[in-house]
Amino acid sequence: MSRVLLTGATGYIGSHVAVELVNAGYDVIGVDNFSNSTPKVLDGIEKIIGKRIDFMEVDCTDYNAFEKVFEQYPDIEAAIHFAAYKAVGESVAEPLKYFKNNLRSFENLVELMVTKGKGANIVFSSSATVYGQPAMDELPIKEDLPFQPASSPYARTKQIAEGILEDCVRAYTNLNGTILRYFNPIGAHPSAHIGELPNGVPNNLVPFITQTAAGIRECLSVFGNDYNTPDGSCIRDYIYVVDLAKAHVKAVDKMLQEGIRWNVFNLGTGKGLSVLELVNAFIKATGVNLNYRIADRRPGDVEQYWADPAKANAELGWSADTPIEEVLLSAWKWQQKL
């Protein structure tokens, strides 16, 4: 079976992709430095798939340590790069930390795949944040929408890394690249053995909702209800993390089976949901009465965006259609397990 390297394999998205790749018959070698996860995630993956994935504790910014993975596993044909810091606010306060970690780790991966990989197929975990705030007539977002100036150093690392991959695919004939731009991943594996593990106070909406429902947080603040949207709160495209993970398998399949050299896909449901709609969907799905209040806008928030997933639907034969209530229930089940 083909061997796929996952960097950031014990992270939120990486762990769910590890499960789906093994389910699809791939061999996985995971690497992580546990800077934003724990080794317990490997136990969770094992409980789901019934075996332990191959794993090496590696900081991908350390070229020599990372190179050892390719000596140990000379059969790597594809890699998916998740290893990156992703807290938008933190990136504004500490841009150098983000540029050094997110870019050096990716540069090392590209170099090692080109020079040491059995195959050099790279899937890059990007984000819809690369688009910035689209104009209303640019919604839903298609892959050819030009980038706006990055809204944060985090977003800029995604823009730069996409450019690194594009230039390297052009230059190195053995290298192929696929960019996956995620909208808002939420939820947890239905087994509740893996899920999102936010460090400290959650930045993201759904973990804050589930921690409030669990009594860990006093009250959810809805950051603004005076936006130019139907109910005044921000709109996003919330995609189930398991549906998102399955798109990664399809992307690897396509590269290995069809030798696709370059592709970019928006991964979303194609439906926009406001913060208040999501809060009400959570209350309806779980029956838990959620304590929330309307607060001031959060600086840097984009008002509204959602994906046009038609390209991924057509070319990957994939769609994210798990009902939002089921997705939110999976998040709640995971939170109760925690």
Q: Which residues bind ligand WQD (CB under 6 A)?
A: 86, 88, 127, 129, 184, 203-205, 208, 220-223, 234, 236, 275, 298, 301
Closest by CA to 182, choosing from 104, 247, 98, 114, is 247
Residue of minimal CB distance from ligand WQD? Answer: 234
Q: With respect to ligand WQD, which residue has the nearer C-beta, 25 or 299?
A: 299
What is the distance, to the nearest Å, from the Cα of residue 188 to the centroid of all Cα atoms in its chain?
A: 13
The CB-side HSE value for 246 (13 A sphere, CA atoms) comes to 15
- Minimum Å gap between C-beta 334 and ligand WQD is 16
Q: With respect to ligand WQD, which residue has the nearer C-beta, 75 or 218?
A: 218
Tell me if 243 sits within 8 A of 321, measured CB to CB: yes
DSSP state of 148: P
Tell me if 209 sits within 8 A of 290, measured CB to CB: yes
Q: With respect to ligand WQD, which residue has the nearer C-beta, 88 or 165?
A: 88
| Residues catalogued as catalytic | 154
| Structure-token match 């009594």, residue found | 215
- Minimum Å gap between C-beta 238 and ligand WQD is 8
Helix ranges (DSSP H) in 4-103: 12-23, 40-49, 63-72, 88-93, 95-98
Q: With respect to ligand WQD, which residue has the nearer C-beta, 14 or 117?
A: 14
Q: What are phi and psi of 220, to 5 degrees?
A: -85, 130
Alpha-carbon span 4 to 247, nearest angstrom: 15
SS3 assignment, position 31: strand
Element (H, E) at 262: strand 262-267
- Minimum Å gap between C-beta 184 and ligand WQD is 5
- Minimum Å gap between C-beta 250 and ligand WQD is 20
Alpha-carbon span 91 to 97, nearest angstrom: 8
Alpha-carbon span 183 to 67, nearest angstrom: 32
- Minimum Å gap between C-beta 125 and ligand WQD is 8
